[in-house]
Amino acid sequence: MRKNKYRKKHFYSVRFLARLFVLNIPTALVLSIMLFWGRIGPWTALIFFGCVLVVTGVITSFVFKELESFIGYLKSLAQGLEVETPRFHKGIFGSFRLADAFLKVKNIWSNQTLSDARILEILPVPLLLINLESKIVSANKIAEDFFGADCLGKSINQIITLPFFENILSQIIQGSKQNDWFEWEYKDDVTYTFQVRIERLPELAKNKAIAVIVFHDITTLTSFKQQQDDFFANASHELKTPLSILSGMIETLQGPAKEDEIAREKFLNMMAEQTKRMTHLVQNLLEVSKLKMIQKTKSNDVILVSELLTHVLEDLTIKAKNSHKTLQLKLVHDLPRLIGNQALLHQAFQNLVDNAIKYGEEGKPITIKAQLCNGFPKKSDRYFDDMRQVVLVSVHNFGAPIPSSVLPRIFERFYRVDSFKTKSIEGTGLGLGITQQIIQQHDGLIEVSSTEKKGTTFSVYLPVDF
């Protein structure tokens, strides 16, 4: 250690003498010329040169010491290190002009850096910075929410575990590739689909960061595309099945059963059922299209919730009785009037009650309850943002519960819970999707809960001043 210090001190001494010699070369040349022409004597030249040497030595020592400190400070900043600003002397011998100019620029850069950091912090997409060792050295707020506040210092490979990612990362860090992107599914409480973009930085950034990784959330887009594919596939299937049955029956009636009156009567009844099924499907598809066309219009019907629900129950009383179920209407408060589309809301509640009749347990009551609430449910996103009063209408039935794993998909078009009981019940899978769309058009909210002990409840929240 002492040997290294001696070498370093010796190096600085040699460099100082070299600088001093270079600075005094002009003085030595001038004195040599004057001495050659006899303008001054040897002792005078020697004394004068000694004085100049001492003065320049003092100035050089002072100025270059500050410059060395200044250069060291710049190197530390370039490496992203947080260091204390050196004290620069202000005076005729000080390097204060250069230092002051730089410090002013540094303050501007610092403010810009803070602004840039603030922008990155509030970006709505997760963002990570990684170093040459593939470790995370910086993360914005939303990235910490997704991957945990303890993600700093972890290897990025602990988060993204795709088999090809390690190769991509290696190429980015080594500089053989500047950027790349890929899709990645991240599973937490829910599954997110990200479009991940990794970009190599032109130079090492703060904390020796070499690359930035940005995660664009495309979960909604991916889900929408999947729903579109499912919609067309299911619509085709729902139409193809009855058409195939009808085609087979027609061929049978035209051939082997042409003169068989009993078979003809049986097949005609079956054909009528299949035609009814297709008609119902087409009507639902037209209803979906109609809802899209009128979603930007606003109806101003004055709706009495109690009368609306009474009419819904009157329409379905016979169907409930035939299914050995009873309908109960409970009005908790003197409910205020709503403004909206009377026909659409009637259809929405009719769909919910009709489903409760289809899937409810025989001998158990179906309860339709309406009450006034001071806002949307606490667990919803609208609890703090929307403080309006709402009318809550719930439809409850007992029966086989809806599995918690499929609850998020229950309102998708054509989606039906896959169970033995549901397969035996006719339906297109469009009813709940249409119901949700109607409720949303009335600026409302619909939720569902289902357990084996408590049964299934669909809850509809409609704001009073819609």
| Dist. CA 43–CA 146, nearest whole Å | 81
- For 183, the token pair is 């899709």
pLDDT in tens, 104-133: 656 655 554 544 455 566 677 888 888 888
Mean pLDDT of 181-200: 84
Judged on CB neighbours under 10 Å (0-12, 13-18, 19+), 352 is buried
- Three-state DSSP at 409 gives helix
CA angle 420, 424, 426 (to 5 degrees): 135
**What is the pTM assigned to this prediction?**
0.48
pLDDT, tens digit (0-9, with 9 covering 90-100), for 243-282: 777 788 788 778 877 777 787 788 788 888 778 777 766 7
pLDDT category, 420, cuts 50, 70, 90? very low
220-294 CATH fold: Helix Hairpins (1.10.287)
- pLDDT value at 334 more than 60: yes
Long-range contact set of residues 299-302: C-beta below 8 Å, sequence gap at least 24: 299/339, 299/340, 299/341, 299/342, 299/344, 300/339, 301/339, 301/340, 301/341, 301/342, 302/337, 302/338, 302/339
- Decide if domain 295-463 falls under CATH 3.40.50.1820: no
What is residue 84's predicted lDDT score, i.e. its pLDDT?
Answer: 64
Q: Looking at the chain, which residues constitute the CATH 3.30.565.10 domain(s)?
A: 295-463
Compute the Cα dihedral for 304, 309, 311, 312 and give only its sign: positive
4-13, 187-196, 210-219, 300-309: least confident range = 4-13
- Looking at the chain, the domain(s) classified CATH 1.10.287.130 span 220-294
pLDDT for the residue 313:
92
| DSSP result, 358-396 | HHSPTT-EEEEEEEEESSS-TTSTTTTT----EEEEEEE
For the segment 32-46, the average pLDDT, to the nearest whole number, is: 74
Torsion of CA 103, 109, 112, 114, to 10 degrees: -80
Mean pLDDT of 423-433: 63
- Report residue 148's pLDDT band, with 50, 70 and 90 as the boundaries: confident
The answer to whether domain 124-217 has CATH 3.20.20.70 is: no
Say yes or no to pLDDT of 93 above 60: no
Residue 418 has pLDDT above 80, yes or no: no
Helix locations, 255-341, DSSP H: 261-294, 305-322
| Residue found under tokens 């039906």 | 416
- What is the Cα–Cα distance from 270 to 334, expressed in whole angstroms? 48
